[in-house]
Structure 1
């Protein structure tokens, strides 16, 4: 899959790093200029649905699982690959201090005739509930403007907002 961007957090030294590798899958679900995103109240940001791919799981299977869990998407299907975002950032789990994460992004569709705009009930994990995560259909330009404001004004922004804002801008440039 084509590389869209590779980033490294300024506060890490890869020569001294204990690196944990993680594959993630992220879904792009569009309806005109509206996009299905996750809003996280703790960080006040919007991001693509998706997450880590489980051991033994293909990226596409992990993508559909994450999309259904986080948004309640009904009848979700992968349409086409979009691109990969690679990042190195601080990590404090699995005995590592840096995560090397590859986020594989795919254009997906859901059956909009079912539920509310294709959504049923999400099955969020405890930490997602604690962080105030919820699925939301939003105009993509509004989501970008919102994230950019948070990047400039909110000191406790989440680590993923830079990736998510970049991806949203790529989606606008290439798919709208």
Structure 2
């Protein structure tokens, strides 16, 4: 998958152990608004999360979007956008490197919805489905840019708003 961006903080040494993670992100657009998870504090994150062992990108994307938002992805609508790679010292273990590959996909969803199945931390943060314009997302995330996942998703939305992914979005439509 084509790399969109690489965020390498370089705040680690090469002799440190590395935790490598693969995740998927679903970009679902309707009437100029994007399906997002919004917290009770007001930050937005793109729907998606880590892949389970043995899971492919498509299955992970369907599962994550359903779990976080109750939206049902139409499998034939999945269109790859690209990867954002992050590498930095791990937030939970300062002696480890966190290396994350986030694969972004445009996809469409059915009109009907199902129930969510969020993690305890997502419930605690008050995450819920919100359809928001790129401007609302960029503005809402401004105070939270010190969080790496917010920075990553906000930069993706900025690139989207600038039209960087227009060709990817149109493919297969």
Bin for the TM-score computed over the shorter chain: 0.7 to 0.9
User: Is the contact between residue 85 and residue 102 of structure 1 (CA under 8 Å) also seen in structure 2?
Assistant: yes
Correspondence for 2:32: 33
Correspondence for 2:6: 6
Helix, strand or coil: the match of 1:48? strand
- Cα gap change, 1:3 to 1:96, in 2 (>3 Å): same
Question: Runs of 5+ in structure 2 lacking a partner?
Answer: none
Correspondence for 1:134: 128
Deviation of 1:82 after TM superposition, in Å, equals: 0.5
Deviation of 1:76 after TM superposition, in Å, equals: 3.6
Deviation of 1:159 after TM superposition, in Å, equals: 2.2
Is 1:158 aligned to 2:152, yes or no? no
Determine the C-alpha separation between the residues in 1 that align with 2:80 and 2:92.
29
User: Is the contact between residue 17 and residue 98 of structure 1 (CA under 8 Å) also seen in structure 2?
Assistant: yes
What RMSD over aligned residues (CA atoms) do the two structures have, in Å? 2.2
Correspondence for 2:55: 57
Correspondence for 1:125: 119
Question: Runs of 5+ in structure 1 lacking a partner?
Answer: 152-156
User: Is the contact between residue 65 and residue 73 of structure 2 (CA under 8 Å) also seen in structure 1?
Assistant: no
User: Is the contact between residue 92 and residue 98 of structure 1 (CA under 8 Å) also seen in structure 2?
Assistant: no
Correspondence for 1:90: 89
Deviation of 1:84 after TM superposition, in Å, equals: 0.3
Is 1:108 aligned to 2:107, yes or no? yes
Q: Compute the TM-score of the two structures, normalised by the length of structure 1.
A: 0.83
What are the superposed Cα offsets for residues 141-173 of structure 1, whole Å, 9 maximum, x if unpaired? 21112213443xxxxx42211101111122222
Helix, strand or coil: the match of 1:61? helix
Q: Compute the TM-score of the two structures, normalised by the length of structure 2.
A: 0.84
Correspondence for 2:21: 22
